[in-house]
Amino acid sequence: MKKQLKQRILIIDDEPEICWIIKKVLSEKGFDVFNAFNGEQGIEQVAEVDPDLVFLDIKLPGIDGLEVLRQVKEKHPTLPVIILSAFDDVNAAVRAMKLGAYDYLSKPLNVDEMQITLKNALKTRQLMIEIKDLKKKIKNKEQENMVWSCPGMQKVMDLVERIARYDVTVLICGESGTGKELIAESIHNQSLRSEQPLISIDCSALPENLVESELFGYEKGAFTGANESRPGRFEMAHGGTLFLDEIGNLSIQIQMKMLRVLQERKLRRLGGKHEIEIDVRLITATNTKLEKAMQGNQFREDLYHRLNEITIQLPPLRERQEDIRLMLQHFLERFSRQFNKSVHTIAPDALEFLQSYSWPGNIRELMNVMKRAVVMANDTIEFTHLPMESFQKTRPPANISMQPLTSVNHSIRPLKELCQEVARKVERETISRVLQETRWNKVKTARLLKINYKTLFNKMRELGI
């Protein structure tokens, strides 16, 4: 069993009696205790010992206690420092608290009070360490979910870093599946509100009659079924960030109420009589053109300008060719870990197809395709593990090069005809490959393709296999 390290306490005090008392009491409690008898030595000891807590006398020879405290907190902001001061030197102790001291104790010391203060200070420090670790994990998780190398996304992330600390409203624009919520999370996690809640809501997923109560809350008896009062998302996000996805789906009436809330920083619950003050940073997202909605009187122009202090435009995945291979590898590793499988590679033909596909569903579609493929694969994702029926239902792959379409005249052929031809070629290639793998066992082939034997026979005849 690994031996637990003792916690280290540093005493910076020029009175040997005080140092002896503290050292005796704390050594018996299992602490490692170190002494420094002047300010200069104390600063050196903090660097050498790396203590978990410091007892610091205000009046020291050389550099006084307040200057020692200032220098220590500048380099070690989470290190708790307990000030030791004479009973008649309260003003100095107050100044020390303003410089970041945890607490102060008056001399002569009360040993019981000292131990209680020490215990509380160490608990506080442990909590601060845990919060720091949690933030690190959140940041790592955020980085795990966000993969990019293309210049367009680098510009987006640079802008996120630049604006995150400022309380401006942000409008994130982009097609469905481009990662708008991840960008909102990144802004929140890098902001001064990161320790407060991030509350998210998809405005397109709520029935119109529930939107108002979800956003602004309601009082008991406000409507049939309101058996108790309930805060809305604005209240739940107080002090933190509220992310409203698909903001363009809100009705004009809700837009008017939201504008009022943003202007006054107050809201009134449904059925409520009193106004509630709120402090919320708002981030919104849309996959539609709000400017077009304004022209059709479906979105208020004044609300648009309130939401649009900073705009972030996310590029679709088809414009991020450099990132597609990175994402394929990222999701391959992620789902292999999640499902405890040893899927390490993608076959060349499958990789070529995935890189040439246009990804109309963007990152969300790519993620779902890789998730299914990892489930179906053994150690390598083959072409047959790809959900070709899903690809055919969306749009044809871009620049597909499995078989050259030399006879196709793209300038005059109708799009529907092109789609049908590409779908037939993909389907023929898939069935032929599975037949080869099963050594032309049609029963096994039909089972692998999840179709019945008769359908397979008709498809083979139709496609000339």
The pLDDT of residue 411 is 36
b/e burial code for range 139-160 (CB count within 10 A of at least 16 → b): eeebeebbbbebeebeebeebb
Q: What is the value of pTM for the model shown?
A: 0.59
β-strand 53-57 against 81-86: which pairing, if any? parallel
Quick check: bond before 316 cis, omega within 30?
Answer: no
Measured torsion, CA atoms of residues 153, 156, 158, 159, in degrees rounded to the nearest 10: 170
- Rounded CA-CA distance 358/196 in Å is 39
Q: Which amino acid is at 69?
A: L
Dihedral sign (CA 211, 212, 214, 219): negative
Low-confidence stretches of the chain (pLDDT < 70) are 1-4, 87-88, 131-145, 392-423
Q: Which amino acid is at 309?
A: E
- Rounded CA-CA distance 342/379 in Å is 6
Structural domains of the chain, ranges and CATH numbers in brackets: 8-131 (3.40.50.2300), 146-315 (3.40.50.300), 338-463 (1.10.8.60)
Give the 3-state secondary structure of the chain: CCCCCCCEEEEECCCHHHHHHHHHHHHHCCCEEEEECCHHHHHHHHHHHCCCEEEEECCCCCCCHHHHHHHHHHHCCCCCEEEEEECCCHHHHHHHHHCCCCEEEEECCCHHHHHHHHHHHHHHHHHHHHHHHHHHHHHHHHHHHCCCCCHHHHHHHHHHHHHCCCCCCEEEECCCCCCHHHHHHHHHHCCCCCCCCEEEEEHHHCCHHHHHHHHHCECCCCCCCCCCCECCHHHHCCCCEEEEECHHHCCHHHHHHHHHHHHHCEECCECCCCCEECCCEEEEEECCCHHHHHHCCCCCHHHHHHHCCEEEECCCHHHCHHHHHHHHHHHHHHHHHHCCCCCCEECHHHHHHHHHCCCCCHHHHHHHHHHHHHHHCCCEECHHHCCHHHHHHHCCCCCCCCCCCCCCCCCCCCHHHHHHHHHHHHHHHHHHHHHHHCCCCHHHHHHHHCCCHHHHHHHHHHHCC
- Rounded CA-CA distance 200/177 in Å is 16
- Rounded CA-CA distance 216/267 in Å is 7
Q: Is 183 within 8 Å of 298 (Cβ atoms)? A: no
118 half-sphere exposure, CB direction, 13 A CA radius:
26
Q: What is the pLDDT of residues 436-458, one digit of tens each?
A: 877 788 777 877 777 777 778 77
What tokens appear for 123 in the block?
């608990």
The pLDDT of residue 438 is 78
Q: Provide, rounded to the nearest whole percent, the portion of the chain with pLDDT above 70.
A: 89
Q: Is 235 within 8 Å of 279 (Cβ atoms)? A: no
The pLDDT of residue 400 is 38
